[in-house]
Amino acid sequence: FFTCLVILFACEVAAGIWGFVNKDQIAKDVKQFYDQAFQQALVAESETNNGKAVVKTFHETLDCCGPDNAIGAVTPLWRDDLCPKKDSVLKNIFESSNCHKKIDELFSGKLYLIGIAAIVVAVIMIFEMILSMVLCCGIRNSSVY
């Protein structure tokens, strides 16, 4: 178990370093994924569409509406089911920012939050490794086995 935790810890550290070095590429890939889901949500009309669920999750989490193009600018007018609801229609049109800008802000301005979460996970894993080694030594020294 300890060995598995060490391998997972090493993989998480490597993924964190790779993600920090390639944060611009990751932001580009996330925007591309969002654009594909947005196109899928515009084409399909059914509620069981996965693209629609992904787009709504992006919109609600980032408080944005539409991609960085002309279709995204008019989306609140004709597809109000995709965008988060505002108090009035004018607020919905003028205050909703595009999701590409919000994704860029997430990966540039709020990178420290992702780093804090990674550090918390790393500390928890270190405690898990310590406790698993204590358990292993306790079992080895036990006279029952």
Measured CA to CA, the distance from residue 105 to residue 101 in angstroms comes to 6
pTM: predicted TM-score of the whole model, two decimal places: 0.63
Residue 119, domain extent: 1-143
Q: How many distinct structural domains can be found in the chain? A: 1
List beta partners, residue 64: 97
pLDDT of residue 130: 93
pLDDT by residue, tens only, the chain of 145 residues:
888 889 999 998 898 888 888 888 888 998 899 888 888 877 766 555 677 888 888 888 888 877 776 555 555 444 566 676 665 455 445 555 788 888 888 877 777 777 888 889 989 999 999 999 999 888 888 777 5
Domain containing 17 — which CATH number? 1.10.1450.10
pLDDT of residue 75: 52
Measured CA to CA, the distance from residue 74 to residue 87 in angstroms comes to 18
DSSP alpha helix (H) spans, the chain: 2-21, 23-43, 50-62, 70-78, 89-94, 99-108, 111-141
